Amino acid sequence: MLLSVALVLLFGMLLGYICRKMHLPGLLGMIVTGIILGPYAMNLIDESILNISADLRRIALREPLKIDSQS
Q: What is the pLDDT of residues 9-59, one digit of tens each?
A: 999 999 999 999 999 999 899 899 989 988 888 888 888 877 777 777 788
Q: Model confidence at 67, in pLDDT bands (50, 70, 90)?
A: low
Q: Where are the alpha helices (DSSP H) in 1-71?
A: 2-21, 26-37, 47-51, 53-70
pTM for the predicted model, two decimal places:
0.66
CB 37 within 8 A of CB 50: no
Domain count, the chain: 1
Confidence of residue 68 (pLDDT cuts 50, 70, 90): low
Q: Taking a C-beta distance cutoff of 8 angstroms, is the pair 26, 8 a contact? A: no
Containing domain of residue 15, as a range? 2-70
